[in-house]
Structure 1
């Protein structure tokens, strides 16, 4: 093949790279189904963890502190 023919093929886009696959083929994975089903449950568990952890901190730490301050104002107010 001459240099001019190679340049013509490259210009027309008929090089050897046009027939090569872009990505390698994957073999079928039998765990794709269960993994796809576990993904939403993992997301839900993560969301609940991010919501329940601050809620538990608020209930266990901040609510008693707020109650003590509120009761202190009730007991020591001069109305």
Structure 2
């Protein structure tokens, strides 16, 4: 639940997210729900996601969907 509230506080801000598997992702948090954070990336090609953006995606394929359960750390940049 802590990851959810941390992501909500960072919504619409540029962040760096570290996941438990050691990956780092940078972008702007565009949405958060109880299970996922939706990160608008810089469009560096295709990215692997842990879920799908659940509704019409106005950002094209630049949304990276991460499970809140995989987040290790989040920092404003």
> TM exceeds 0.5?
no
TM-score (norm 1): 0.18
TM-score (norm 2): 0.18
Higher helix residue share? 1
Which structure is higher in RCO with an 8 Å CA cutoff and minimum separation 6? 2
